[in-house]
Structure 1
Amino acid sequence: MAFLPTTAAEMKEAGLDQVDFVYVSGDAYVDHPSFGCAIITRTLETFGYTCAILSQPDWNNDEEFLQFGTPRLGFLVSAGNIDSMVNHYSVNKRRRDKDNYTDEGVMGKRPDRATIVYSQVLKRLFPDVPVLIGGIEASLRRLAHYDYWDDKVRRSILMDSQADLLMFGMGENTIIEVADALASGMDVKDICYIRGTAWKTKSLDTIFDDYIVLPSYNEVKTNKKSYAKSFMTQYENQDAINARMLVEPYDGWYVVVNQSPLPLTQEQMDFTYALPYERTFHPKYKYVPAIEEVQFSITSNRGCFGNCTFCAITSHQGRVISTRSTESVVEEAKQITRMKNFKGYIHDVGGPSANFSRPACDKQVEHGACPKKQCLWPKPCKNMKVDHSHYVEMLDAVRALPNVKKVFIRSGIRYDYLMYDKNDDFFDRLVQYHISGQLKVAPEHVSAEVLDKMGKPRKELYFQFVDKFNAKNKEFGMNQYLVPYLMSSHPGSTLKDAIELACYLKKIHHTPKQVQDFYPTPGTLATCMYYTGLDPRNMKPVYVAKTFEEKLEQRALMQYSYPKNYDIVKKALIKAGREDLIGTGPKCLIKPYPPKGDYKKPYGNQKRRPHR
């Protein structure tokens, strides 16, 4: 199966005078199931619709947008696999040097706020052609949202982009329903009934479903308490089964958000990942770096019931897990083993949380996820069923394939869910077969106050996991290490909490090579805390480190042993009244005098230990 056409010449070679859809993407064209563009266009193709791919067009050159002519049904617009602002800027709002989703990693091939820019160009050039926006950027900006880069509340992207319809969440079923409606001759303005869509209207007279009217955009952009309450209403109305329609008023307009798409059944998941992908980037490119992490990886599930407050997966994929059959995963693994550059290693079998291979409880399938209760936090729900058997079955089947030397798990393991499993089958296999020397897990912090704001379990459970991991390594004669993901400056983290984390790092003799600083992105509960200074779950005040100095101190404390951070760490410790940590004692973070030597290397005892 060939790549879909990416130029007018390729369209002609395919025997097409006109396509049904032109898909405009901020990414280079990679025909792999880890890329939304590939999934949506291959799904459309399988249902009989033709597509052309306009990847990374020059938004200042109208001819690039005109090259395919007028599509029969409409334009599909996505900023790409990552929000364009996250793609372009670090948490310090500095321009990044590399874009992994572009040929040879070149930066600058897409505009800031790519969805808005592309859509506005298309509406100017093709005013009568439907423009439909989707992807992660549009999905998480479907209603008024705090924008970290502008430091203000922006309107729904549906308003700013001038698009006709917004599709949110995982869109295979949604796009076919929309395509069928357009193909039947329906005006895009009348497509207001499909799950996973948001639309705008000047009147609510035609809405007969039960809906919630949110505070207006004018109110939430000026009143942080109203913003927090509105966000929480949205947060509690994301489930496909029990959520209600949401309406957000604007001056003379309403943005209406329908119920979320239903989670894919196992049969639908298998169908999606069996589509005829080329599994690589278009041959017109030299090398697209993003393929490196996914080319030999397999997506086995979608969704996450972990509900970390700093993560937007719940808003995009939902809390109810969709999973593939073992046969489907094995078939994809066989395809990978036949690739000419396959070396015998499956890099990953997983998803947002690799070991979530079934819904959290049986009731979720029929009744949806509980709107006001979480599955894992603050304590595991008594109705949660902890079961790794399907995941173990998949891993064993892939590992048994000829030419497969090793099957790694690189997507996140929920260590808390693993610890709640009374059956050690998966834990045993994980330690014996699926770690490439280091296992990355995400305790994120050790402070109880910060962990509560993150929606993460308390540190004691993580310490139990560390002990069990080390015991399992000893039992099976393995020498493997844990690498903890930790975050600085999360809402709720004070200087005191940052010092507690630094002391923990000192205790385990670990210096993170890279510091994960909290990044306020659209759609997350933690971003709402960051902007409003309120926890929307209880409307109580939350401390937020916002100044450059505060954030710098918290980052530096995580790398307290780096000579370049000495002055910052010392100043922070004095400010916090923790001069007891400045000295030569075993618990001290830094010495009373600056270190000498290479400022790029840590100093002191940095011998890695596989235990806490």
Structure 2
Amino acid sequence: MFDIPTTREEMNKLGIKQLDVILVSGDAFVDHPSFGTAIIARVLKDIANLKVGIICQPDWKTSKDITRLGEPKYFFGVTSGNMDSMVANYTASRRKRKTDEYTPNADFGKRPDRATIVYSNLIKQNFKGIPVILGGIEASLRRISHYDWWQNKVKKSFLLDSKADLLVYGMGEKTILQVADIFKNGGNIDDCKKLRGVVFWKSKLPKNNFKYKSLPSFEEVSNSKEKYMEMFKIFQNENDPLNSDGLIQKHDNRFVIQNPPQKYLTTKEMDMIYDLPYTKKVHPYYKKMGYVKALDTVKTSITSHRGCYGECSFCAITLHQGRTIQSRSIESILNEIKKMTADSSFNGIISDIGGPTANMYGHDCSKKIEHGACKNKRCIGIKTCNLLKPNHSKYIELLKKARKIKGIKKIFVASGIRLDLIFEDKIYGMDFLKELINHHISGRMKIAPEHASKKVLNLMNKPDFSITEKFIETFKKLNKESGKKQFFSAYIIAAHPGSTLEDEKYLKKRLNKSFGFTPNQVQIFTPTPSTKSTTMYYTEKDPNTNKKIFVEKNEKKRKIHKEIVVKYN
């Protein structure tokens, strides 16, 4: 029997009269550690020893689904799911999608726009006095005032629009365990507002042990793009638990207060979380509704670490997971693989061992680990900081040991690879690339140069295209030496802020020369909440220089940007 109920009947079979916590998600319930809801459910159930239930994709037009598990003893936890609901529901051209892979049968329409707000308001209508705590990527990146591309306006913190009591930002395991301890020991939601990693609101400025910086108010950033830029720069720099203050932003007559970031997980804590008894299956209640395609790509994948110091301007990972790498131990990962081989349905193939950037596993800047991420410079991007000293040795060790486990036929590395880190690692970089080529790609390696124009790459915080060209030359040479005939595919972004039609033509020219094929994985830039690129899109300025940049905002012309890159000639 599945030990986390989704219906009253399942609660009865488990002998549960009242749940301590009910989680509400925009995804179907997949009990796999690639799904945030599954991790939080397992942490609360198996570490905090709470009775946890889950309601997924409730019908938000009635009270039937949201009330089916009754009233929780402590609180409701609400998330849009693994994706921002607007990204899940709309294409890069603002058109409604036709499918949703996180829904049984990929049926579209089971997740409302701005799901976090909708679910929270629905709970508040039906359960008076029960705290609602927001979490997940959607809430995390909309925790302060933010530009919303779909409405083309600056919106308030989701905390206010949702009427929720608390927002847990970033990766929430440590924070939610502390919240659980407070409730178990007789505390209340106000006691939780003293924790790191949370956002709450007050009508008066709080008295707390933390230091706070003031952000320009919601009214100011709504009326002034210069104030919006000022807000973003402060917000971006206060994201490391070792050297960041809290933030305060006034919204009308209320103050939204962000406490400093939660401390990063240790290797021991990472191991504990990923060693929990995930079934890695779709919950039976949702499985009977249909096939959940999102499980396919992650079912046999393994998370080795989290965090990324790449800081690509268009990516939200840094703001959500942090710039410091938090790695699992090799032993924990190998144990997970051994458990997989014991499953009769396992075919011997692991689809991925990695994280946001695979070759950041097991190593980081020693200064950053001790003092926190630098606020005045980046680790990598346009150039690599001389303090970083990339080292692939631990990742190589992990891959070699994993391959030797009985029952393993093939291990792929499908997570992103930073090419600049390979070349910066003068000792192990080429050994790592040889490992990939000889053992861990499926005939085609994915790379992500994103663009070729130096101007655009600088705005993206990506290395010069010459690094990509050097990689292609090296990749071909090593494949020839190993007697393999393997290829690569590439991710490209069109219509990124700063990119003109001439830049796209230049990109096309460089791709034709270097690739020998036309990449089909070209996406039009989508301005997602709180990223640096979205700030550029909205303000039409470079945050590093405050200089005006070109931004294509006309949807038809944005499509032309892509067409230039993908056309065959």
TM-score by length of 1: 0.90
Residues in 1 aligned to 2:541 and 2:190: alpha-carbon distance in whole angstroms: 38
Q: Secondary structure at the match of 1:416?
A: helix
Residues in 2 aligned to 1:517 and 1:366: alpha-carbon distance in whole angstroms: 39
Alignment equivalent of 1:456, drawn from 452, 462, 466: 462
Amino acid of the structure 1 residue aligned with 2:165: D
Q: CA deviation at 1:372?
A: 1.6
Residues in 1 aligned to 2:394 and 2:206: alpha-carbon distance in whole angstroms: 48
Amino acid of the structure 1 residue aligned with 2:15: G
* 1:527 has 2:534 as partner: yes
Amino acid of the structure 1 residue aligned with 2:469: F
Q: In terms of mean alpha carbon deviation, does 77-86 or 419-428 score higher? A: 419-428
* 1:43 has 2:49 as partner: no
Amino acid of the structure 2 residue aligned with 1:484: A
Alignment equivalent of 1:360, drawn from 361, 364, 389: 364
Residues in 1 aligned to 2:206 and 2:401: alpha-carbon distance in whole angstroms: 55
Q: In terms of mean alpha carbon deviation, does 470-479 or 95-104 score higher? A: 470-479
* 1:291 has 2:295 as partner: yes
Residues in 2 aligned to 1:131 and 1:420: alpha-carbon distance in whole angstroms: 46
Q: Given that residues 219 and 226 in structure 1 are in contact (C-alpha distance below 8 angstroms), is that contact kept between their aligned partners in structure 2?
A: yes
Q: CA deviation at 1:208?
A: 4.3
Corresponding residue of 1:29: 29
Alignment equivalent of 2:567, drawn from 546, 560, 567: 560
Residues in 1 aligned to 2:70 and 2:565: alpha-carbon distance in whole angstroms: 54
Amino acid of the structure 2 residue aligned with 1:10: E
Q: Given that residues 307 and 321 in structure 2 are in contact (C-alpha distance below 8 angstroms), is that contact kept between their aligned partners in structure 1?
A: yes
Closer/same/farther in 2, CA of residues 108 and 546 from structure 1, 3 Å limit: same
Residues in 1 aligned to 2:554 and 2:60: alpha-carbon distance in whole angstroms: 35
Q: Given that residues 346 and 406 in structure 1 are in contact (C-alpha distance below 8 angstroms), is that contact kept between their aligned partners in structure 2?
A: yes
Residues in 2 aligned to 1:511 and 1:72: alpha-carbon distance in whole angstroms: 57
Amino acid of the structure 2 residue aligned with 1:221: S
Amino acid of the structure 1 residue aligned with 2:567: Y
Q: Secondary structure at the match of 1:30?
A: coil
Corresponding residue of 1:318: 322
Q: Given that residues 491 and 521 in structure 2 are in contact (C-alpha distance below 8 angstroms), is that contact kept between their aligned partners in structure 1?
A: no
Corresponding residue of 1:307: 311
Q: CA deviation at 1:359?
A: 4.3
Amino acid of the structure 2 residue aligned with 1:390: K
Q: Given that residues 408 and 436 in structure 1 are in contact (C-alpha distance below 8 angstroms), is that contact kept between their aligned partners in structure 2?
A: yes
Corresponding residue of 2:393: 389
Residues in 1 aligned to 2:368 and 2:501: alpha-carbon distance in whole angstroms: 40
Amino acid of the structure 1 residue aligned with 2:296: E
Residues in 2 aligned to 1:257 and 1:494: alpha-carbon distance in whole angstroms: 37
The aligned runs of 1:259-274 (5 Å cut-off) are: 259-274=260-275
Corresponding residue of 1:10: 10
Corresponding residue of 1:403: 407
Q: Given that residues 267 and 329 in structure 2 are in contact (C-alpha distance below 8 angstroms), is that contact kept between their aligned partners in structure 1?
A: yes
* 1:443 has 2:425 as partner: no
Residues in 2 aligned to 1:451 and 1:340: alpha-carbon distance in whole angstroms: 47
Residues in 2 aligned to 1:270 and 1:371: alpha-carbon distance in whole angstroms: 29
Q: Given that residues 360 and 375 in structure 1 are in contact (C-alpha distance below 8 angstroms), is that contact kept between their aligned partners in structure 2?
A: no
Per-residue CA deviation, residues 353-398 of structure 1 (Å, 9 max, x unaligned), is 0110134311111211111210013321110021111111111111
Residues in 1 aligned to 2:363 and 2:197: alpha-carbon distance in whole angstroms: 20
Closer/same/farther in 2, CA of residues 208 and 194 from structure 1, 3 Å limit: closer
The aligned runs of 1:410-449 (5 Å cut-off) are: 410-422=414-426, 423=428, 424-449=430-455
Amino acid of the structure 2 residue aligned with 1:469: F
Residues in 2 aligned to 1:350 and 1:261: alpha-carbon distance in whole angstroms: 23
Q: CA deviation at 1:205?
A: 4.4
Q: Given that residues 239 and 371 in structure 1 are in contact (C-alpha distance below 8 angstroms), is that contact kept between their aligned partners in structure 2?
A: no
Residues in 2 aligned to 1:102 and 1:211: alpha-carbon distance in whole angstroms: 41
Amino acid of the structure 1 residue aligned with 2:8: A
Flag the structure with larger Rg. 1
Residues in 1 aligned to 2:184 and 2:472: alpha-carbon distance in whole angstroms: 56
Q: Given that residues 341 and 348 in structure 2 are in contact (C-alpha distance below 8 angstroms), is that contact kept between their aligned partners in structure 1?
A: yes
- Which consecutive segments of 4 or more residues in structure 1 shift more than 4 A? none
Corresponding residue of 1:216: 217
Per-residue CA deviation, residues 240-292 of structure 1 (Å, 9 max, x unaligned), is 11111000001111001111122211111111110001111012313110000
Residues in 2 aligned to 1:95 and 1:353: alpha-carbon distance in whole angstroms: 30
Residues in 1 aligned to 2:507 and 2:65: alpha-carbon distance in whole angstroms: 51
Closer/same/farther in 2, CA of residues 315 and 201 from structure 1, 3 Å limit: same
Q: Given that residues 411 and 440 in structure 2 are in contact (C-alpha distance below 8 angstroms), is that contact kept between their aligned partners in structure 1?
A: yes
* 1:350 has 2:351 as partner: no
Q: In terms of mean alpha carbon deviation, does 75-84 or 508-517 score higher? A: 508-517
Closer/same/farther in 2, CA of residues 358 and 402 from structure 1, 3 Å limit: closer
Corresponding residue of 2:472: 466
Residues in 1 aligned to 2:52 and 2:127: alpha-carbon distance in whole angstroms: 17
Residues in 2 aligned to 1:536 and 1:415: alpha-carbon distance in whole angstroms: 25
Closer/same/farther in 2, CA of residues 205 and 276 from structure 1, 3 Å limit: closer
Corresponding residue of 2:242: 241
Corresponding residue of 1:380: 384
Q: CA deviation at 1:465?
A: 1.3
Aligned residues: 562
Corresponding residue of 2:118: 117
Q: Given that residues 3 and 31 in structure 1 are in contact (C-alpha distance below 8 angstroms), is that contact kept between their aligned partners in structure 2?
A: no
Corresponding residue of 1:603: none
Residues in 2 aligned to 1:64 and 1:343: alpha-carbon distance in whole angstroms: 37
Q: Secondary structure at the match of 2:297?
A: helix
Q: Secondary structure at the match of 1:442?
A: strand
Q: In terms of mean alpha carbon deviation, does 182-191 or 31-40 score higher? A: 182-191
Q: In terms of mean alpha carbon deviation, does 184-193 or 518-527 score higher? A: 184-193
Amino acid of the structure 2 residue aligned with 1:558: V
Q: Given that residues 312 and 381 in structure 2 are in contact (C-alpha distance below 8 angstroms), is that contact kept between their aligned partners in structure 1?
A: no
Report sequence identity in percent. 44
Residues in 2 aligned to 1:307 and 1:359: alpha-carbon distance in whole angstroms: 16
Residues in 1 aligned to 2:55 and 2:412: alpha-carbon distance in whole angstroms: 35
Amino acid of the structure 1 residue aligned with 2:318: T
Q: Secondary structure at the match of 2:199?
A: strand
Corresponding residue of 1:575: none
Q: Secondary structure at the match of 1:535?
A: coil
Residues in 1 aligned to 2:324 and 2:209: alpha-carbon distance in whole angstroms: 27
Residues in 2 aligned to 1:384 and 1:464: alpha-carbon distance in whole angstroms: 21
Residues in 2 aligned to 1:552 and 1:22: alpha-carbon distance in whole angstroms: 43
Q: Secondary structure at the match of 1:549?
A: helix
Residues in 2 aligned to 1:9 and 1:356: alpha-carbon distance in whole angstroms: 45
Per-residue CA deviation, residues 476-521 of structure 1 (Å, 9 max, x unaligned), is 1111112121110011101110000111232233122242111100
Residues in 2 aligned to 1:205 and 1:84: alpha-carbon distance in whole angstroms: 32
Closer/same/farther in 2, CA of residues 188 and 301 from structure 1, 3 Å limit: same
Corresponding residue of 2:282: 281
Per-residue CA deviation, residues 388-424 of structure 1 (Å, 9 max, x unaligned), is 1111111111111111111100010111111111122
Corresponding residue of 1:78: 79
Corresponding residue of 1:540: 547
Q: Given that residues 23 and 54 in structure 1 are in contact (C-alpha distance below 8 angstroms), is that contact kept between their aligned partners in structure 2?
A: yes
Q: Given that residues 115 and 133 in structure 1 are in contact (C-alpha distance below 8 angstroms), is that contact kept between their aligned partners in structure 2?
A: yes
Q: Given that residues 517 and 555 in structure 1 are in contact (C-alpha distance below 8 angstroms), is that contact kept between their aligned partners in structure 2?
A: yes
Corresponding residue of 1:512: 519
Amino acid of the structure 2 residue aligned with 1:361: C
Corresponding residue of 1:341: 345
Q: In terms of mean alpha carbon deviation, does 543-552 or 151-160 score higher? A: 543-552
Q: Secondary structure at the match of 1:305?
A: coil
Amino acid of the structure 2 residue aligned with 1:465: F
Unaligned runs of 5+ in 2: none
Q: Given that residues 79 and 137 in structure 1 are in contact (C-alpha distance below 8 angstroms), is that contact kept between their aligned partners in structure 2?
A: yes
Q: In terms of mean alpha carbon deviation, does 370-379 or 93-102 score higher? A: 370-379
Q: Given that residues 450 and 492 in structure 1 are in contact (C-alpha distance below 8 angstroms), is that contact kept between their aligned partners in structure 2?
A: yes
Unaligned runs of 5+ in 1: 562-588, 590-612
